[in-house]
Amino acid sequence: MNRLSIMVAALLVSTAASTPVTAGQANPRPATHGPMIPGQSPVKRVVLALYDGRAGLPRDTISHRFAELPLNHLGLVLRYQDVSQPLPALDQMDDVRGILCWLEDGQLPDPEAYMRWAEAAVTAGKKLVMLDGVGIPQDGQDAVSPARLNRFLETLGLQLHPSWTRTQTDTRFVVKDPSMVEYERKLAGMLQPFQQAVPVDSKAVSYLVARNGDDPATDSHLVIVTPTGGYVAADFAYSAGAKENQQQWYLNPLAFFRAAFATDDLPKPDTATLAGRRIFYSHIDGDGWNNVSELPEYQRRGDGSAKVIFEEILRKYPDLPTTVAPIAGDLDPARGGQVQARETARAILALPNVEAGTHTYTHPFVWDFYEDYSPEKEKPYLDKYNSLIGRLTKSYGGRQETAGEGGGESGEGQLPRYIFDRPFDLRDEVFGSRDYIQTLLPPGKRVNVIQWSGDANPFEAALAMAKQSGMANINGGDSRFDRDFPSLTWVAPLGLEVGTQRQIYASNSNENTYTELWSNRFYGFRYLLGTVRNTEVPIRLKPMNVYYHMYSGQKQPALTALQANLDYARSQPLVPIATSQFVRVAEGFYSTKFVPTGPRSWRILDRGELQTIRFDQATTVAVDFARSSGVVGARHTQGSLYVYLDGDAPTPEIVLTDDPTPWIEPQAPRPYLVESSWRIWHLQPGDNGLAFESEGYGSGQMTWRVAPNSRWQASIGAQSVAAAAGPEGLLTVTVPASGEAPAPVSIVLRRTAP
């Protein structure tokens, strides 16, 4: 770095509450988990999600596909409970906030045992939330009597009557709260039949009530929140739509779960924000590494797609970190890989903005196939595999992926994996691929990430081995939220519980889903920006993640779309980080604990690398910096308060206070960070300023809240520059990019005059 430039910049901070979760006159009451007093146990964050293991895995459940994302946003962690197995005792549920029952009738093997267990849980203070009805059979061989069912439902503050409305020619809604229903789709046309439900708790709040004619006695309460949980009648949570990609919420899931699980007392670990800015990360799967590019200049030389990505993307966007995960078998000559492909990998992985990952050794397409593996299982594929190899176009004299034959992710239905040179070995896929790719790295670098291949559904043992290897794991999820997939139901949660392990999902889908499995619409990845915008406004749900494959260097439309996405990222106020760091942030979401230390204060434990805590509905709330510890800064946006923690503080404490000036960032007794494109830690306040460590990609742009109209001096080593803050008390420091790999720098901000 040859200079430090400092300039004053005005920062417009929106303090208007713009989240869609306000419940209007039916606003949910504060949580009823007791007063927050010193010595209290951690705030409960776990929701027990019931599912029937006889019908499928947690990843297949509607709770995972639809409910887990909004619950994660509200700070809640799902733990899946198979109802076909013994239900946990109350003393095993100390960290459980509530129970989510989103089951079809007939999925409870012992309804009576379930009702006794749920009654005891509610009595112990757990919330019970039921969607698509109560999940308890009311007819057939296992039917529960109406009297017994209603005794159970009284714990939730409601009852079901035997009457059903099957034709709705004379039905109308007498209550339809717009903050809670018609979130993505109107309740129009002929409704599904519904059973009459009525609240019996005077504190229950009804958000959707249907009436037949003018008779109030026919009122059916279809969406209810009670002091002990919530209820949504069957077919009133979402619409399946005429086509698979047209499913949409009737219910506002953020508002409903916020009210039903009473999450306003819960700080939210935020995985989309760092240092006051939205996170950016990018990663590349190695598929198509050897595909000969169709770009004229590269085609003349016979260059593969990886060479195009190296020259046109990775070298031209040094300010945007990217994790590159080759398929080790494409590079290893002992496994059929080629020298030229290996040397391209060396050049790519040596770049300072590139983090090394692995996309396994042989690229399994269907991970479940290998969970209970024996070599005999693959024998039926030998002839097909050998025939396929003979037909493939040769590149560098070796393998090339082509559409429909392992190109993109389109080979799943044909072969169990892409490279089929020896019996499957899980340790080889994880440790072996890591160790081989490590031989291609310059000194000081290591392989940090395993990016799951194929269907990206690793089984428990695969995840356990990845954890044992020390690598972060990512992929799966395939989030979309755009014109083709116009619903929050297509936005995946943070990850998935797989037995005792945890898979972390990619935050956005890759270009494969936009190009019809790399067979058409090769420009389609440009529509990623629809999802990027929809998961930022009106509320931030996800980081910006640009996830793609090496075959994006094969065709000009695909490359142009990729460049447009990266150009957009450059135009936004983001904080770029490596993929492995995002995974560690995501892992911290699940482990974080909040221990109340007062009415509006919490000590934070076990957060790992997660450094942002969010408080919603917080326009008029601020951090009390005088009484807080381990806090670098804070920022208001979208009606929420984002608090940035010091990575060097193992047990920081956040104390909140009222904000008398909600139209600007509040003043504090010391400077604090508002936003930064670089990470900041080891903050050391002094009498006249502060010192801290910082590092990041590209130029470092930081805005600090200081005393209005004050003068400051910023120093890095022997260099220093003076500047003055404006009337808003905002000071922006810009550290030029070094062009080298990120390395910590020490910065001192010192006040020199009023």
pLDDT digits (tens, 9 = 90+) for 176-202: 999 999 999 999 877 888 999 999 999
Tokens of residue 56, six digits? 């499928």
pLDDT at 718: 76
Question: At 454, is the pLDDT very low, low, confident or very high (cuts 50, 70, 90)?
Answer: very high
pLDDT at 412: 41
Q: Which of 43-47, 325-329, 392-396, 548-552 has the lowest mean pLDDT?
A: 392-396
Select from 353, 355, 280, 350 the least CA-distant residue to 316: 353
Bridge partner residues of 210 (DSSP): 173, 220
Select from 509, 529, 532, 511 the least CA-distant residue to 521: 511
Give the span between the Cα atoms of 471 and 429, in whole angstroms: 13
Could you tell me how many residues make up the chain? 754
Select from 121, 116, 205 the least CA-distant residue to 158: 205
Select from 141, 152, 317 the least CA-distant residue to 229: 152
- Spatial neighbors of 39 by CB under 8 A, at least 6 apart, are none
Question: Which H or E run includes 282?
Answer: strand 277-285
Question: At 9, is the pLDDT very low, low, confident or very high (cuts 50, 70, 90)?
Answer: very low
Give the span between the Cα atoms of 157 and 262, in whole angstroms: 16
Select from 550, 551, 544 the least CA-distant residue to 566: 544
80 vs 193, higher pLDDT: 80
Tokens of residue 729, six digits? 């008390």
Contact indicator for 53, 82 with CB cutoff of 8 Å: yes
**DSSP label at residue 358:** E
What is the chain's mean pLDDT, rounded? 89
Residue 693 has pLDDT above 70, yes or no: yes
Question: At 39, is the pLDDT very low, low, confident or very high (cuts 50, 70, 90)?
Answer: low
Q: What is the average per-residue pLDDT within 359-381?
A: 94
Contact indicator for 198, 175 with CB cutoff of 8 Å: no
pLDDT digits (tens, 9 = 90+) for 130-146: 999 999 988 877 789 99
User: All domains of the chain, ordered by start, with CATH?
Assistant: 5-14+616-753 (no CATH), 24-36+44-266 (3.40.50), 273-576 (3.20.20.370)
Give the span between the Cα atoms of 141 and 654, in whole angstroms: 55
Residue 539 has pLDDT above 80, yes or no: yes
Question: Which H or E run includes 632?
Answer: strand 631-637
192 vs 477, higher pLDDT: 477
Q: What is the average per-residue pLDDT within 467-482?
A: 97
Tally of CB atoms within 10 A around 273: 24
Contact indicator for 43, 33 with CB cutoff of 8 Å: yes
Question: Which H or E run includes 700?
Answer: strand 700-705
pTM of the entire predicted model: 0.91
Question: At 397, is the pLDDT very low, low, confident or very high (cuts 50, 70, 90)?
Answer: very low
What is the C-alpha radius of gyration for the chain, rounded to an integer number of angstroms?
27
Residue 243 has pLDDT above 90, yes or no: no
